[in-house]
Copies of this chain bind each other. A is one copy, B any other.
């Protein structure tokens, strides 16, 4: 798959959300954004795909229910974006692809399954928007993307760098995917940026990996002062390279996104988060994901609601 990709001319209507002025939003079988359930990649330009795996969590579990609850809360999404002035559903053929098959009892088996299934989707020239699941799924996703399109640039919204080398004697967890993605060459050297890092770390050496591999960092503290402008140098540097966005919901403050596994205070507001996604308009988006929504901890479902909106905003970047 070569980037950038142009919208295809297709006969007939695109899949579109059920009309809520006719059918109430509380009715029907819940799919992402009330789009049809279309488990065939060759009929789609972009697939919304659930990846309900949380076997990589090290603290609170729960993201295995992320796709389900984000489906339910995405019932409020309407098609037209008045800020970016676009309707992604009329621009691209987008639908709910369903969930990938995962094995909650094995990280390794799940990694193999995810990469294999996504390769099939990508081969059909359908880009993927994965809905986690915990952040451990990033590695097998990037492996699939790499096998189809080569290395990508990475924008990571996250409270944590996820570059640790393992936990409890196991290499793969939700705290390690970026390390292995970099070491496996899935991300282009010098083309990764982490936005929103904050909170205590284990030692001052926790950032050594990022320095060594020229990962740019915009901390939450810097972002609270400098805002979207701080991302511009990186965006300029990666120019027209294909970019993959991975959005760990814990980049957002627990007040706005309580439903997550390793919440970190002093994060982004929902307004900042929506705004920074929109500021990326114009990048050459190869794919994206949103991870770490943990419904059992999501008071009032506001995390899933925010996640649904962030997925929509990312759809508008394609």
Contacts and interface: CB of A to CB of B under 8 A. Distances in A.
A58 B103 contact: no
A276 B23 CA distance: 36
A78 interface: yes
A213 interface: no
Q: How many copies of the chain does the oligomer comprise?
A: 6
A24 B104 contact: yes
Contact of A296 (B37, B270, B297): B297
A287 interface: no
A22 B79 contact: no
Interface string A211-238: 0000000011100100000000000000
A317 interface: no
B58 A61 contact: no
A105 B26 contact: no
A89 to B, nearest CB: 10
B255 A24 contact: no
A68 B26 contact: yes
A296 to B, nearest CB: 4
Contacts of A26: 52, 59-60, 64-65, 68
B258 A102 contact: no
Contacts of A168: 21-24, 102-106, 109
A83 B254 contact: no
A27 B67 contact: yes
Given A21-B202, A204-B82, A302-B258, A30 B27 contact: no
A203 to B, nearest CB: 5
B61 A54 contact: yes
B99 A28 contact: yes
Interface stretch (A69-77, A122-130, A143-151): A69-77
A107 B105 contact: yes
B68 A271 contact: no
Interface of A: 20-31, 37, 50, 52, 54-62, 64-65, 67-68, 71-72, 75-83, 85, 87, 96, 98-99, 101-107, 109, 164, 166-170, 172-173, 199-204, 206-207, 219-221, 224, 253-256, 258-259, 262-267, 269-271, 273-275, 296-300, 302, 305-306, 309, 312
